Amino acid sequence: MSTPKEESGKVPLLQPPPVGEDEEELQVQGLGRRILEENRKLWVVAGPSIFTHFSSFGLTVISQAFIGHIGATELAAYALVSTVLMRFGTGILLGMASALGTLCGQSYGGKQYHMLGIYLQRSWIILFTTAVLLLPIYMFTQPLLVLLGQDPGISAVAGVISLWYIPVMFANVFTFTLQMYLQAQSKNIIITYLAVLNLGIHLFLSWLMTVKYNLGIAGAMGSMVIASWIPVLGQLGFVFFGGCPLTWAGFSSAAFADLGAIVKLSISSGFMLCLELWYNTVLVFLAGYMKNAEIALNALSICLNINGLEMMISVGFLGATGVRIANELGAGSARRAKFAILNVVTTSFSIGVVLFVLFLLLRGQLAYIFTESRVIADAVADLSPLLAFSILLNSLQPVLSGVAVGAGWQSVVAYVNVASYYLIGIPLGAILGYVVGFHLKGIWIGMLLGTLVQTIILLVITLRTDWRKQVKISQERLKRWYIDENSRSQGSDGII
């Protein structure tokens, strides 16, 4: 069986990971040159990633904008589904897929190219099984929301919308894993091209089905289903038909081997990210128990969607940070890993400061994109200062989580998230909102404090990390993978 080729020649199917780094080369490089080089590597991954996440989140925002003009109840129901149910399923799948970022990133940095395709297939198996297990939650959304005390009228419409999310959820199985796989190789520009096409198609179809033909929720959600599968088909075509010759050698029986180790890392990754994504879900639920719940939910959902749009920048940096750290650890370079962290934190936080000022100035004006109600727009304006501070924290916290993904610390960060979010943020929010009487603003303030605590802890952990030790850990992991895969490949190429 022939192996994939690079420009320089053939790459062995199994090749030992590299050891050490060229310290002298780093020492002779000037600071300016190092900054330019690092930013080039960062933006090759971060640029397409940010735009792609903007596009993906844009699908949700476009749908919300069209549904919001159907009626207030429909908007509130969509808010419940998109910020509660969708975050629940998306959090689990995206979190579990982030384990692939660690595995592919370190393998690519360690020149274990053949393993990327195998890890991709293993992740498909794990995430598809997880999606099947999540089906009952989507199928019985209405009774679950009523059981949790949500408004029956809003819950009934939410139950209809949630059924439309089932094909979207299965599309995410492939979308998230393919993005991690392509990002690790800095080949995610294809994702950007597909995202541009996808966003335009969704905008046109949403207008056609909801405005032109007046199909209501079915029109808006039908457009979302179509838009969710377009990138999947495009990315699969790119991978299968020669876009990744170095890392994709076809389907392999090795994908079914050693699933336990990846399941363990996937669960840790999923738990870490879910605890972050579900944090805002609790905020939406608490808002749903207040008086005038419809106004509170609508105003909050608009703020969270604006916040979410900005967070797509940070999530893009999260993915890029994970790739850069994993690549450098896999390549054995502690100094480059540290420099990559400093560069991405500085870049992301600078962008956050600019957006912080911008959203303080705009206040409630952006609300009219989603609603025609002056009451809801005024409620959004009242929450704008908290939205601005959320944006500022979001420019730093996800980047530090990206460091954890690149280094494989998902389990540690999961414990930090539990303590910061659920032992500090939510209890403080409930006290300020319901006991002190600050209502929705009080809940949000408490949860912001929880995020601040989490950010400080992650910053301290990152600053105190011995990165040379992390390199050794990464190298030992790559050697174990090499030995395990070599022993399994004896006597068989394993390709189906």
The DSSP secondary structure of 243-262, one letter per residue, reads I-TTT----BGGGGSSHHHH
Question: Could you give phi then psi for residue 252, rounded to 5 degrees?
Answer: -135, 140
Contact call for residues 380 and 298 (beta carbons, < 8 A): no
- What single string gives the DSSP state of each residue in 298-340? HHHHHHHHHHHHHHHHHHHHHHHHHHHHHHHHHHT-HHHHHHH
Owner of token pair 């900005």: 310
Q: What is the pLDDT of residue 173?
A: 93
Question: Could you give phi then psi for residue 6, rounded to 5 degrees?
Answer: -105, 175
Residue type for 496, please?
A: I
Q: What is the pLDDT of residue 205?
A: 93
Q: What is the pLDDT of residue 19?
A: 47
Q: What is the pLDDT of residue 281?
A: 67
If one counts every other C-beta atom within 10 angstroms of the C-beta of residue 137, the result is: 14
Question: Could you give phi then psi for residue 286, rounded to 5 degrees?
Answer: -65, -35
Cα 320 from Cα 388, distance rounded (Å)? 24
Length of the chain: 496
DSSP strands (E only) in 339-438: none
Q: Which neighbouring-strand residues pair with 10?
A: 5
Q: Three-state SS for 70?
A: coil
- The tokens for 459 are 């910053």
Q: Which of 76, 130, 122 is nearest to 301 (CA)?
A: 76
Q: Which of 228, 370, 194, 394 is nearest to 312 (CA)?
A: 394
Low pLDDT (below 70) residues in the chain: 1-29, 83-85, 87, 272-273, 276-278, 280-281, 283-294, 364, 477-478, 480-496
- What single string gives the DSSP state of each residue in 403-414? HHHHHT-HHHHH
Q: What is the pLDDT of residue 94?
A: 80
DSSP code of residue 13? S
Which helix (H) or strand (E) covers residue 71, if one does? none
Residue type for 227, please?
A: A
Whole-prediction pTM: 0.72
Cα 494 from Cα 492, distance rounded (Å)? 5
Contact call for residues 374 and 364 (beta carbons, < 8 A): no
Q: Three-state SS for 123?
A: helix
Which helix (H) or strand (E) covers residue 370, if one does? none
Cα 487 from Cα 493, distance rounded (Å)? 11
Summarize the chain as % helix, strand, coil (round to 5).
85, 0, 15
Cα 284 from Cα 299, distance rounded (Å)? 10
Spell out the residues 6+ positions from residue 25 whose beta carbon is closer than 8 angstroms to its own. Answer: none
